[in-house]
Amino acid sequence: MKTLSRIYMFIVFGLLYAPIVVLVLFSFNRAGTFNTYSGFSLYWYRELFRDQTALDALKNSLILATLSSVTATLIGTLAAYGIHRIRSKAVKTVINSVTNIPMMNPDIVTGVSMMLLFAAAAAIPFLKVEMGFWTMLIAHITFNLPYVILSVLPKFKQMDKHLTEAALDLGCTPAQTFLKVELPSIMPGVISGLMLGFTLSLDDFVISHFVSSSDFKTLPLYVYNQTAHEVKFSMYALCALMVFAILLLMILVNFAGADRTEKKKKKKTAAAVR
Amino acid sequence: MKKRSFLEKAALVPHLVWIVLFIAAPLLFVIYFAFTDENGAFSFSNIAGLTNYADIFLISVLFALIATVVCLLIGYPLAFTMSRLKPSTQRVFVLLLMLPMWISLLIRTYSLLAMLDNGGLLNSLLSKIGIGPVKIVGTPGAVILGMVYDFLPYMVLPIYTSLSKLDIKYFEAAEDLGCNGAQTLFKVALPLSKSGIISGITMVFVPSISTFYISQKLGGGRFDLIGDTIERQFLYNNAKNVGAAISLVMMILILISVAVMNRFGDDDGGELIV
């Protein structure tokens, strides 16, 4: 029974990884087909780096992920501070449920609902709303917010409230108390919210798909466009590079912060349940 | 009771403005467009016209249900096996399970396409041994396989999490009292991991029913799922009203099924996973 279940486990993991491994291996194949393997070559990687739109997309993705995760972390941390102190249970529930809507809804509904909002705003002449960088930034901040609050709020709850009271008694203003006492103790939550937001933003395709224009493409949108028609082997190279980057990131995070990533994914899991 | 300080109220303001403008308002727009015609007059015709899309709804629900059941059947034994490993080995496998979750859905789907496509690896191998190229892409099986492949980790992780929290003594007691392997599984493990199963089902069903990339790539454009229909109405047909009506109905369907699922589970389901 035990060996049988081990074999089963290895088979499932094998199948889960097989396509990704094949893709990475064949990205080094100069021939550009699956029929013949003409030896190790970086040809498709050179092709990829000659493609200016791919490099621009990478740059755009990094800019968008940084700005959206930082903004969402600022708004979300302040919000968690406020939500933690709301006394009325009903008010708390209402705010939390509205905040969590983007986490519960399918991405496509979030995407089209924001598209409708921006289209309506575009009809107002002095607003000058156009799909592009700003609409994407707003959308990314919006879907990052619930994850930031989900990471930060429990830290406020875990905090010893006597610390805050002591600081206030000893003459700190509420602002000083927040900066000097509360912020340091919720910092792990703030950081994991920031990192989660950054990766979610980097990874998002569906919502961006509905609020973007051709002048501002992120990496997932670029991949989508490139895979719309025939299969190009420079795309395999790009995919392989992204897999390597994620692998590196995971190894780094795992070495640096013990089980922080594990908690994050579980939070995401828990979030989807609520 | 001290009065709430100015800071406590002010901290919430940016967040409240944000969620009203960018979460609540967009959803109101979805409802507004679903109940108006092109000229903005109130109309039920979009909702009434959804009967034309009944078969699309049906096939989407069917595909998503099959994918969810297959994920559960493959995922549960996997999660069970993983939870019985040595703690150090468990960590490695949890990491291996999470790595695909961090890789973009586009890339995972695309790598599966690279395996199954007519010129893909599998068909190249098959034609070498004489079994001509077999058409896989464009069949219902390929779409469901894509869903299972992409979302399996989202089923396994929550089940694993709730199983790994169970005291091993439950299983020892069951065996001491004469349960065989299957009885231990069905009478002890299964009821005790109900909350994990329910969050797993939600996390597979919701993205499966709303996907459009998987069906476009692996369905070869032959299958119109709800996601494809919404995408087309908004981005290509410029039929926002119909698209909004479909989105609204899908959203309500999902909210109802998630609420029903959660009713089956324990109320602490979410907390267990965090």
Residue B140 has pLDDT above 60, yes or no: yes
CB within 8 A of A10, min separation 6: which ones? none
Q: Give the span between the Cα atoms of A207 and B214, in whole angstroms.
A: 16
Q: What is the 3-state secondary structure (H, E, C) of A110-153?
A: HHHHHHHHHHHHHCCHHHCCCCCHHHHHHHHHHHHHHHHHHHHH
* Residue B237 at interface with chain A, using a CB cutoff of 8 Å: no
Structural domain includes residue A28: yes
Q: How far apart are CA B152 and CA A231, in angstroms?
A: 25
- The verdict on A122 touching B (C-beta cutoff 8 Å) is no
Average pLDDT rounded to a whole number, residues A135-161: 93
**What's the pLDDT tens digit per position in A231-252?**
678 888 888 888 888 888 777 7
Task: Check whether residue A27 and residue A118 sit in a common domain.
Answer: no
DSSP A182: I
A181 and A70 inside one domain: yes
Q: Identify whether residues A70 and A176 lie together within a single domain.
A: yes
Work out the percent of chain B whose per-residue pLDDT is above 90: 44
- B81 vs A contacts (CB less than 8 Å): 5-6, 8-9
Mean pLDDT score, A97-113: 92
Identity of the residue numbered B192: L
Q: CA-CA distance, B76 to A122, in Å (whole number)?
A: 49
Same domain, residue pair A25 and A100: no
In a domain, A48, yes or no: no
Q: How far apart are CA A38 and CA A28, in angstroms?
A: 9
Q: How many domains does chain A have?
A: 2
With beta carbons less than 8 A apart as the criterion, state whether A123 and B29 touch.
no
Cα A245 from Cα B95, distance rounded (Å): 15
Q: How far apart are CA A138 and CA A127, in angstroms?
A: 15
Is A74 found in the same domain as A33?
Answer: no
Q: What token pair was written down for A198?
A: 């950054």
A49 assigned to some structural domain: no
The pLDDT tens digits of the residues spanning A182-215 come to 999 999 999 989 988 998 898 899 999 999 988 8
Residue B249 has phi, psi (to 5 degrees) of -65, -40
Contact B23 A35 (CB under 8 A): no
Whether residues A12 and A101 share a domain: the answer is no
Q: What is the mean pLDDT of chain A?
A: 86
B110's tokens: 């695309």
B87 in A contact zone (CB under 8 Å): no
Query: What element of type H or E holds A50?
Result: helix A43-50
- Tell me which of A40 and B4 has the higher pLDDT: A40
> Would A61 be classed as within a structural domain?
yes
The one-letter amino acid at B22: F
Q: What is the CATH number of the domain that holds A202?
A: 1.10.3720.10
Q: Does B82 touch chain A (CB under 8 A)?
A: yes
Q: What percentage of chain A carries pLDDT values higher than 70? A: 91
Indicate if A85 and A209 belong to the same structural domain: yes
Q: Which two tokens stand for residue A15?
A: 């199948």
Instruction: Say whether both A137 and A221 belong to one domain.
Output: yes
Asked whether this complex has an ipTM greater than 0.90, the answer is no
Q: Is B42 helix (H, G, I), strand (E, B) or coil?
A: strand
Mean pLDDT score, A57-83: 95
Residue type, A144: N
**Token output for A166:** 């002591």
Supply the pLDDT for residue B274.
Answer: 29
- Please give the Cα distance from B159 to B146 (Å, whole number): 21
Does A123 lie in the same domain as A68?
Answer: yes
In a domain, A47, yes or no: no
- Tell me, yes or no, whether A134 lies in a domain: yes
pLDDT attached to residue A263: 52
pLDDT at residue A125 in the model: 81
The pLDDT-based confidence of B268 (bands split at 50, 70, 90) is very low
Q: Is residue A75 part of a domain?
A: yes
Same domain, A36 and A93: no
Taken in order A6, A12, A14, A16, is the CA torsion positive or negative? negative
Examine residue A241 and state whether it is found in any structural domain, yes or no.
yes
Q: Are residues A11 and A94 in the same domain?
A: no
Q: Pick A9's closest partner by Cβ from B81, B152, B153.
A: B81
Would an 8 Å CB–CB cutoff place A197 in contact with chain B?
A: no
pLDDT digits (tens, 9 = 90+) for B187-246: 888 888 998 999 999 999 999 999 999 999 899 888 889 999 999 999 998 888 999 999
By the 10 Å C-beta count (0-12 exposed, 13-18 middle, 19+ buried), B260 is classed as exposed
Domain ranges of chain B: 53-273
In this prediction, residues B247-252 reach a mean pLDDT of 93
Q: Which of A41-50, A141-150, B19-28 has the lowest mean pLDDT?
A: A41-50
Q: Are residues A59 and A185 in the same domain?
A: yes
Q: Regarding the domain delimited by B53-273, which CATH topology (the fold level of the hierarchy) does it fall under?
A: MetI-like fold (1.10.3720)
Burial bucket for residue A256 (CB in 10 Å: 0-12, 13-18, 19+): exposed
Predicted local confidence at residue B270, as pLDDT: 43
Highest mean predicted confidence (pLDDT) among A254-258, B144-148, B184-188: B144-148
Count the Cβ atoms, other than its own, within 10 Å of residue B166: 15
B chain contacts of residue A33, beta-carbon cutoff 8 Å: 119, 124
Query: What is the domain range of residue A144?
Result: 54-273
Nearest to B12 among A17, A82, A242 (CB): A82
Confidence band (pLDDT; 50, 70, 90) for B98?
A: confident
CA atoms of A98 and A93, how far apart (whole Å)? 9
- pLDDT reported for residue A7: 94
